[in-house]
Amino acid sequence: MSGLLGELHGRIGRLGREQGFLDARVEVTARPLAPAEAIGRPEHDDYPIIRGRERMMEALFEGAAGHAFTDHPGRFSGTLAEVLAMPLADNFRRAVFLATANAVARRLGLAQRTVHCKDADLTKCPKELPAFVRAAFGAARRVFLVGLQPRFLETLAEGFELRVTDLDAENIGRKKAGIPIEPAEAAADCLAWCDAVLATGSTLANGSAEALLGSGKPVAFYGVTCAAATALLDLPRFCPLGR
């Protein structure tokens, strides 16, 4: 296994061996959360998880929780060794691994904010985003937002030039805050155009993060899905109000 996911897989495997977690019968239970469980009852109803396009997977590891978004939810129960033995060949298995990695890293005190924020925090969080973008990307003006996070788009549109791609076919061609939503196939053109990339952590689960990191453009990730990956691999992440 190569790339970012492979490196994270190796780190979690080493941590499991060092802590003796692989030999013990430690249960890792992953299940899809209902929207209200994952993000509470926010002010807006246009988030992908509410519209049913994605679900949140939750892994519980020795009392620590880790979340990961996926468009292929399901249930899994087993040991950490069994999670690590799974081929990460589809979005479901990658989401199980990422949620588990988040829970393990949280249990060891190596990652924070591994559980999604809820309720009013979903409108408070975006207010901190422009300052993060300026700190992470300096004088960048053209930002490629990967994944439609409606409040992020609205906030960034006030001070930056934006292009946005999304995987939800129902969003393609529509405008949000005056910005047209483009298909994933436009990513290469967006990368050539932009100064910097702000990408949903779900790109780790769907396999598209590698192309972003290999583009030569500065990249930061946002959300809970990438909590362990960004913490253990020293990548910038925006998730100020995760729990």
Q: What is the pLDDT of residues 52-97, one digit of tens each?
A: 567 788 899 989 999 998 878 888 889 999 999 999 988 889 999 9
Contact criterion met (CB below 8 Å) for 184 and 191: no
Interaxial angle between packed helices 91-107 and 3-19, expressed in degrees from 0 to 180 and rounded to the nearest 10: 40
E strand or H helix that includes residue 208: none
pTM: 0.89
Token pair in block for residue 66: 């880790």
Q: Which domains does the chain have, with CATH numbers?
A: 3-107 (no CATH), 121-238 (3.40.50.11590)
**Helix, coil or strand: residue 132:** helix
Distance CA 15, CA 110 (A): 11
pLDDT digits over 156-206, tens only?
Answer: 999 999 999 998 888 899 998 899 999 999 999 999 999 999 999 989 888
Token pair in block for residue 169: 């076919």
